[in-house]
Amino acid sequence: MMENKEELARIITAENGKPLKEAQSEIVYSASFLEWFAEEARRIYGDVIPPSAKNRRLLVLKQPVGVAAIITPWNFPSAMITRKVGAALAAGCTVVVKPAEDTPLSALALGELANQAGIPAGVYNVIPCSRQQTAAVGEVLCTDPLVSKISFTGSTATGKILLKQAAGTVKRVSMELGGHAPFIVFDSANVDHAVAGALASKYRNSGQTCVCTNRFLVQKGIHDEFVEKFAKAIEKELHVGNGFDAKTTQGPLINEKAVEKVEKHIMDAVSQGASVVTGGKRHSFGKNFFEPTLLSNVTTKMLCTREETFGPLAPVIKFETEVDAVAIANAANVGLAGYFYSQDPAQIWRVAEQLEVGMVGVNEGIISSVECPFGGIKQSGLGREGSKYGIDEYLEIKYVCFGGL
> Which residues does the annotation mark as catalytic?
176, 210
Strands of the sheet with 67-71, listed across from one edge = 124-126, 95-98, 67-71, 147-153, 172-176, 381-382
- Give the integer Cα–Cα distance in Å for 168 and 165: 6
Q: Whose CA is closest to 46, among 63, 29, 31?
A: 63
- Give the integer Cα–Cα distance in Å for 393 and 390: 6
Q: Where are the alpha helices (DSSP H) in 286-365?
A: 322-330, 345-354
Helix (H) or strand (E) holding 209: none
- Give the integer Cα–Cα distance in Å for 65 and 70: 14
> Pairing relation of β-strands 172-176 and 147-153?
parallel
Give CA separation, 222 vs 190, 314, 319, in Å.
Answer: 10, 17, 10
- Give the integer Cα–Cα distance in Å for 378 and 101: 27
Burial state string for 130-149 with b = 16 or more CB within 10 A and e = fewer than 16 = eeeeeeebbeebbeeeebbb
Residue 392 CB-density burial (10 A; 0-12 exposed, 13-18 middle, 19+ buried): middle
* Cβ–Cβ under 8 Å, residues 174 and 166: no
DSSP conformational letter for 358: S
* Cβ–Cβ under 8 Å, residues 242 and 232: no
3: Cα within 13 Å, side-chain hemisphere: 6
* Cβ–Cβ under 8 Å, residues 254 and 77: no
Residue 153 sits at φ, ψ, to 5 deg, of -120, 125
* Cβ–Cβ under 8 Å, residues 160 and 78: no
Collapsing DSSP to helix, strand or coil, 231 comes out as helix
